Copies of this chain bind each other. A is one copy, B any other.
Amino acid sequence: MGRHMQTQATAFSASRPLVVRNPLPTPEYRQVSADTENSRALEHAMLRAGAVMSFCRSEEIFGDGEPADHIYRVLAGTVCTYKILRDGRRNINAFYLADGYFALELVDRHSHAAEAISGAKILVVKRAALMVLAGRDPAVARQLLVLTACELARVQDRVLLLAKTAEERVAGFLLEMAKRSKGNSIELPMLRQDIADYLGLTIETVSRTLKLLKDHAAIEVSTRQVVLLNRSTLSRING
């Protein structure tokens, strides 16, 4: 029954996160999204008030149920948020790549745990400080609402994904990852187990389904990379 369990406890306590206060904003951290003015305001506020922390692979950023005192932004690397269910299964809620914000929830305790999937640099800001800034700068306040609404839309999309067959879920996942990449080549920073836990499948099914898509000449697969050969086939499969 029980699937993948975390067994990295020793690794966590071994390496203490490196903290750097008030880092200078570097160009690559200044990616401008569609909502330019507002996102710049929040970005700026976080860079001024925040600290950069580094996490290595599988290192926990925060635990499920811990006080939610901070808001986070991925500067580099990949992060996932997840929950361990009572039967031991792990449910991955989201993958956050560079520029993604996470732990935006308005409750006093985290409803998920978060960990780095690859080595990651994370910008961390005290929630209270950000709320003060939001009170002073309406652009910041509004951007928080926009980001929360985006997160809501993303989770709703995931519900739809979970309603589908294994083949549709994997195709949908690849298309989702492709949207975040350039071109047709997708680097996969996560393990097969992570993909499985995100899609509500087993690693065996993920593996078999990738093979199936490969045999349908829709993709090329290697361990850490997928190349989309035929997006229309994938989209059709995605349903």
Contacts and interface: CB of A to CB of B under 8 A. Distances in A.
Interface of A: 1, 3-6, 9, 12, 16-21, 23-27, 29-30, 32, 34-35, 68-69, 83, 85-87, 89, 91, 93, 104-108, 111-112, 127-128, 131-132, 134-135, 138, 141-142, 144-146, 148-160, 162-164, 172, 200, 238-239
Contacts of A23: 128, 131-132, 134-135
A101 to B, nearest CB: 13
A128 B91 CA distance: 38
User: Copy number of this protein in the oligomer?
Assistant: 2
B159 A158 contact: yes
A77 to B, nearest CB: 23
A152 B151 contact: yes
A29, A91, A146, A156 — which one has the most chain B CB atoms within 10 A of its CB?
A: A156
B91 A21 contact: no
A23 B144 CA distance: 13
A131 B20 contact: yes
B160 A3 contact: no
Contacts of A200: 162-163
A239 B89 CA distance: 11
Contacts of A162: 159, 162-163, 200
A159 B155 contact: yes
A99 to B, nearest CB: 15
Nearest to A105: B149
Contacts of A142: 12, 18
30 contacts: A1-B157, A1-B160, A3-B150, A3-B153, A4-B153, A5-B35, A6-B34, A6-B35, A9-B35, A16-B138, A19-B141, A20-B141, A23-B128, A23-B131, A23-B135, A24-B131, A29-B106, A30-B108, A85-B160, A85-B239, A86-B239, A93-B156, A105-B149, A106-B145, A106-B146, A107-B149, A107-B153, A145-B145, A155-B155, A155-B159
